[in-house]
Amino acid sequence: MDIARTPSSPDGNTVMADAAPTPHEPPVIRREDYKPFEWLVPEVSLDFDLGLGSTRVVATLSVAPNAKADPSTTIRLNGDGLEPLAVQVDGEIVSDWSMDGYDLIIPLTGEGHELRVTTQISPAANSALMGLFASNGMLCTQCEAEGFRRITFFPDRPDVLSTYRVRMSGLKAHFPVLLSNGNLEAQGEGEDGTHWAEWHDPWPKPSYLFALVAGDLVANSDSFTTMSGREVALNIYVRDGDLPRTGHAMESLKKSMRWDEKVFGREYDLDLFNIVAVSDFNMGAMENKGLNVFNTKYVLADPDTATDGDFDGVEGVIAHEYFHNWSGNRVTCRDWFQLSLKEGFTVLRDQLFSQDMGSEPVKRIEDVRVLRGAQFPEDSGPLAHPIRPDSYREISNFYTATIYNKGAEVIRMMRSMCGEERFRAGTDLYFDRHDGEAATCEDFVKAIEDGAELDLEQFRLWYSQAGTPKVSVRLEHDGDTATLHLSQDVPPTPGQPEKQPMPIPLRIALFDRESGKHDGEQLITLTKAQDSFSFEGFATKPVLSINRGFSAPVVIERDIAQDDLVFLAAHDDDPFARYEALQDLVVGHLKDVIDGNLDDSERDTGRQAIAAAISAVLDDEHIDDLMRGEMLLLPSEGYLAETMLVADPGAIHEARQGLRAYLGTQLEEAWKALHQRASSVPFSHDAEARGARKVKTHALAYLAAGDVDGVQELAWEQYSSADNMTDRQGALMVLCNLDGPERTRALLDFYNRYKDNALVIDKWFSLQSMSLHPNAIEHVKALADHPQFTLKNPNRVRSLYMGFAVNPQAFHDASGEGYRMIADLILQLDPINPQTAARFVTPLGRWRRIEPKRSALMKAELEQIAAAGDLSRDTSEQVSRSLG
């Protein structure tokens, strides 16, 4: 599952004695208490009588005692808000069942049985968008993590694997297309305008991978021939008017299938692969076996309505969900503590795919930026947890950057330590050993260990310890020997006050200062709290390039001279390390400015050094514009805050904007020349044109920051003459930060041009909520009353309010109004969609790392939310953990 992401124990775990399971107070689930489910459920048949307002579900389960579990005289079937209309055991109606909270308890004796449970649900009333719900007249499911229990009573846990047969019927006029997992086996016409379809998925799967879609849809159809010569039918289902925008998604799917065969040896295993695009969806997409359900955002794209970033997003998410067919479906996770087993591994797979499809260094920088922007703050805050958590109350709160992005980095480290060939041997062994099973993170590590013949005993600490390691670096030179002194510290996190040293693989190079070259890159591994590494043959002190390619997800702390950073920014042959040197140069300068360590002369000297480094990037003919665009980006205000023990958002914003303004004016002619050159490149999807569009908007943004003469007219020219969304949105972004007639003119034109396209109107909301306009708060308040805004659509909510929550100026307004707006949103949204509401708690949860005045205001809003009462389990847990 890709994230944009009940009362009883779902994993058979023992609950705490003081935490009785009730609908509103879920128990604490502990990984150490895992027990296999007492019953096997090898086969499931589901019969749906479909309707938007009312759907009847008849679930038939074949069950048998599980020889690997303790025997039981009852079976517990999880439910969430359901009432059984009828319960049958072996064809006989029974009445000796009972309810325990939301769960159905049925007495069972003997060996195998057939259970049949009838329920009735209302998809149209399901605003939480979990289970079976209605979206613009169609029916759709989302069952991960615990949504299946909202459809019918079932052992809703990932280690119960079953083959599914599904029969669905409904009015053909309402639901002309009927889809489920697996292969279509039969279909026909019913009475009174109804029709039916029967599907069978031959591969055992957990209930979270069940899917059903029924609606008025059309398909972009194609096919793919696998490496063994089987032909697979491919369909992307959308609403009729969206069909022309599905071509890129289809090509991305075929590329993904081909790449997975070549790189990981994984072949698709059904005769059919379907994708459905849904406009109301909590997640980015869901990997249901053979029937992937996608947020429309990650399916629909054409040059007029989607940016280059959107095209990349579609390709990456299509790949992610397809790759889950093996890393998540064929081999699934034993329990939800193992979530990173499938998500971290699959994120790495989609990252490697995207690197191969485009620019490897640019993709690496983008991935690290996401990690630092989302996961590093998580690791240093109240919500910190290992990539394999030890306990949870509400599993939906653990679909986090730690599980996904840090999980991917941990597996990437294994790959670096093994080498690509031995890593592939390990993954082949993993798939062979555990095909058709519900596995654990330990199973994966053991397979890599055995397949690659590598000792990973100490490496397992990466799975059990939270926190981002800090690596202190010092380089000494004596005679002809350079000695690298390293030490590591893993900071305390909630529940883990003390940490053990972890193996940290670091790619390094030592540059000769005169020639600007090095004798080769090396991989060293820091395994102790402190260690030293010596290198011979250096008559003069070399310049150290460390953590090249971001070989480990750590914070590097080094006392490095400004001249050395300038040297690396100009000469490092590792693109990430070169980018990092420039970032470090800027971070060091801005922190000194914020801390008041510089007088005016020193500040100007620092600015001049940065301007010279940026100018060198602008003039360097050896890098392409895609990479140039990355190097021109200054560190974000969020990242700057993460480098400080206590951050003052106002001071950070002032210092960073001051530097941007300086660079805008100091390099004005260079920015104008860059903009003119890039504007002459005609539109295409190749790397040259994509890079030109990227640097064109960067140049415009710097000119706007410097408020140079004619910048609004230049931005309007880019907007009005654009023949693609990347240029148009980039110009509108710049204009949104300014105050003038061109801003109003462009916003009105953009809205009128795209008012019937929901995904583009999401952009219109987001650009305004993220703008640095001085009246951004008032703009967001007005947009909340706009006729096209609704709390019922997660995309629309995120476009307005998540954009605002990452707006460094408006969200952190000294009055506290930004905090109050997000707190009010959480309280409004929680009764409608708890999962989406809970994700807005995180920005307020950073209060401990913010200067005292703002910190008190943020904490007060969290306390107000906590005092409101009747919160969902999702939001309540996030608020309580954030308050500590």
Interstrand relation of 218-225 and 39-49 (parallel, antiparallel or unpaired): unpaired
CA distance linking residue 459 with residue 462, whole number of Å: 6
CA distance linking residue 745 with residue 602, whole number of Å: 42
Q: Which of 115, 110, 111 is nearest to 155 (CA)?
A: 115
Instruction: State the virtual CA torsion across 160, 166, 169, 170 in degrees, nearest 10.
Output: 50
CA atoms within 13 A on the CB side of 521: 16
- The letter for the amino acid at 771 is S
Give CA 539 to chain center in angstroms: 47
CA distance linking residue 873 with residue 10, whole number of Å: 15
77 Cβ contact partners less than 8 Å away, ≥ 6 residues apart: 103, 104, 105, 106, 115, 117, 153, 154, 155
Q: Which of 738, 716, 712, 740 is nearest to 727 (CA)?
A: 716
Q: Give the H or E element holding residue 441.
A: helix 441-452
- The letter for the amino acid at 359 is S
Q: Which of 866, 789, 777 is nearest to 826 (CA)?
A: 866
Q: Which of 402, 426, 283 is nearest to 347 (CA)?
A: 402
Place of tokens 């389990």: 873
Determine whether 709 is exposed, middle or buried from the number of CB atoms within 10 Å of its CB (0-12, 13-18, 19+): exposed
CA distance linking residue 296 with residue 795, whole number of Å: 10
> In the structure encoding, which two tokens stand for residue 755, read together?
């008012």
C-beta separation of 473 from 362 below 8 A: no
C-beta separation of 868 from 827 below 8 A: yes
CA atoms within 13 A on the CB side of 244: 6
Give CA 108 to chain center in angstroms: 42
Checking 604-609 for CB contacts under 8 A at 24+ apart, the result is 606/562, 607/659, 607/662, 607/663, 607/666, 609/562, 609/566, 609/585
The DSSP secondary structure of 498-518, one letter per residue, reads ------EEEEEEEE-TTT--B
Place of tokens 């506290």: 816
CA distance linking residue 822 with residue 816, whole number of Å: 10
> Is there a catalytic annotation at residue 185?
no
CA distance linking residue 296 with residue 457, whole number of Å: 43
Question: How far is CA 245 from each of CA 42, 639, 750, rounded to the nearest angstrom?
Answer: 40, 35, 19
Q: Which of 654, 667, 721, 740 is nearest to 698 (CA)?
A: 667
Give the end-to-end CA distance of the chain in Å, rounded to a whole number: 29
> In the structure encoding, which two tokens stand for residue 130, read together?
């979990």
Catalytic residue among 38, 144, 198, 321: 321
Question: Catalytic residues, which ones?
Answer: 321
